[in-house]
Chains A and B, each alone.
Chain A
Amino acid sequence: MSELKNNKNDLSHVQKIIIILWLSFVMAGIATGVFFSVIDPEALRGCVTFPVMSRMGVYTVGFLLFWLLTAASSLLTSYFLRGK
Chain B
Amino acid sequence: MSHLKVKVDQKLKDEESLASNVGHQKIYSKEAKGRFATLRIWAVFALLGLFYGLPWLQWDGRQAVLLDLPARKFHIFGLTLWPQDFIFLAFLLIIAGMALFFFTTLAGRLWCGYACPQTVWTEVFIWIERWVEGDRNKQMKLDKAPMSAKKFRIKFTKHAGWIIFSAFTGFIFVSYFTPLNDLAHNLFIFELGAWEVFWIFFYGLATYGNAGWMREQVCMYMCPYARFQSTMFDNDTLIVAYDEKRGDPRGGRKKDSDYKAEGLGSCIDCHLCVQVCPTGIDIREGLQYECIGCSACIDVCDDVMEKMNYDKGLIKYTTQNNVDGKPTKLFRPRIAVYGLIMLGLVLTFIYLMAARVPLHLDILRDRNAIFRETNEGLIENVYTIKLVNMDEEAHEFLLTVDGLEGLNMELEQEKIVAQGGEILDLPVRLQIDEADLKQRSTPVFFHFQSTDKDGLMIEGETRFLGPRQ
Contacts and interface: CB of A to CB of B under 8 A. Distances in A.
B70 A3 contact: no
18 contacts: A8-B22, A9-B10, A12-B22, A12-B23, A15-B23, A18-B222, A23-B224, A34-B86, A36-B83, A38-B83, A54-B193, A54-B195, A55-B72, A56-B70, A56-B177, A56-B195, A57-B194, A60-B199
A11 interface: yes
A41 B222 CA distance: 32
Given A4-B8, A40-B72, A55-B69, A19 B222 contact: yes
A47 B22 CA distance: 50
Interface in B179-215: 193-196, 198-199, 214
Interface in A40-84: 40, 54-57, 59-60
Interface string A1-37: 0011001111110010011001100100000011011
A83 to B, nearest CB: 21
Nearest to B206: A25
Contact of B195 (A8, A10, A34, A57): A57
Contacts of A10: 22
A50 B86 CA distance: 26
B449 interface: no
B193 A15 contact: no
A15 B72 contact: no
Nearest to A56: B195
A55 B67 CA distance: 13
Contacts of B195: 54, 56-57, 60
Nearest to B218: A22
| Dominant SS among interface residues on chain B | helix
A78 to B, nearest CB: 13
Contacts of B222: 18-19, 22-23
A9 B195 CA distance: 39
Interface string B74-91: 000000000100100100
A40 B221 CA distance: 36
Contacts of B70: 54-56
Contact of A19 (B10, B196, B199, B221): B221
A40 B360 CA distance: 15
B419 to A, nearest CB: 19
Nearest to B87: A37
Nearest to A25: B206
9 cross-chain pairs, A with B, having the tightest CB-CB distances, nearest first: A37-B86, A8-B20, A56-B195, A37-B83, A22-B222, A55-B70, A60-B195, A57-B195, A15-B221
Contacts of A33: 89
Contacts of A22: 222
Contacts of B177: 56
Contacts of B199: 60
Contacts of B214: 18
A4 B6 CA distance: 12
B205 to A, nearest CB: 13
Max chain A C-beta neighbours (<10 A), residue from B70, B177, B193, B224? B70
Contacts of A19: 221-222
